[in-house]
Amino acid sequence: LLDAVPWYVYFRDDYMLSDPEFGSPGVWPSLIVGPAGSSSALHIDNSLLPFHLTLLSGRKTFRTVRLADWRARLTDDEAEWGSLYTEGGFAAVPGIDGLDDGYVEEEFIRKRGCHVFNATLIPGDTVYVPTGALHGALNLGDAPAVAITSNVFTPSHAGQLFDENCVKGGRFSFGHDGFCRKLAKDKMRRGGGFRD
């Protein structure tokens, strides 16, 4: 079936699909269905993994803030405006609505100078959310949104994921006991470096 999905050509070396030590076999890719008006709050994915999503039906708006930007501008307790998110990408202030345009304009952009990216998808569109990006989505229109999605972990992501999850103290690796060991083994197999 994956051979019939054209965008997977970009992810042929994805460990999530080819290596049972990463993720659970049969979990990725996943089909997700969300009723009109439903949403997912801004968050980061487990272990900062990037992902892609292709919309099959309905309409969906994505909001994304790059890792370096949300870390620098949304997590600083010492800043004049205080912290909105924790270092782990969770809301630090109850009631944050990162999908509310007015709130994001005032709190993220004007007060903190954060760069916020938005995209509205129609059927056939694919969005790629990079490593560690804070992201959320809102399903638009009157019909459910149906999409195929998957986290992505390729050799080109390995260096940054190793640094974030293993070198910097593993703050973002939630429940991946073998994650750093597998990354280190892959690093050794490649002669001490990652292909970036």
Is residue 148 within 8 A of residue 60, CB to CB? The reply is no
* The token pair that represents 11 in the structure block: 């992810």
**Residue bearing tokens 């280190």:** 184
78-136 per-position pLDDT tens digit: 655 667 776 666 676 666 788 899 999 998 899 889 999 999 999 999 999 998 898 99
| Residue 69 predicted with pLDDT over 50 | yes
Rg (CA), the chain: 18
Which segment, 112-121, 147-156, 162-171, is predicted with the most confidence on average?
A: 112-121
The proportion of the chain whose per-residue pLDDT surpasses 90, expressed as a percent, equals: 31
Close Cβ partners of 3 (under 8 Å, ≥ 6 residues apart)? none
Chain centroid, CA 123 distance in Å? 20
Q: Which of 31, 25, 132 is nearest to 74 (CA)?
A: 132
CB 160 within 8 A of CB 131: yes
Sheet of 145-151, strands arranged across? 30-34, 145-151, 51-57, 126-129
The answer to whether residues 49 and 152 touch, using CB atoms and an 8 Å cutoff, is yes
Between residues 176 and 9, the one the model is more confident about: 9
Tell how far CA 183 is from the center of its chain.
19
**Separation CA 5–CA 7 (nearest Å):** 6
- Could you please report the per-residue DSSP string of 7-71? GGGGGTT-HHHH-TTSS-TTTSSEEEEE-TT-EEEEE--GGG--EEEEEEESEEEEEEE-HHHHH
Full-prediction pTM beyond 0.75? yes
Looking at per-residue confidence, does 129 or 30 come out higher?
A: 129
Judged by DSSP in three states, 117 sits in strand
Cis preceding-peptide flag for 29 (omega within 30 of 0): yes
CB atoms within 10 A of CB 22: 21
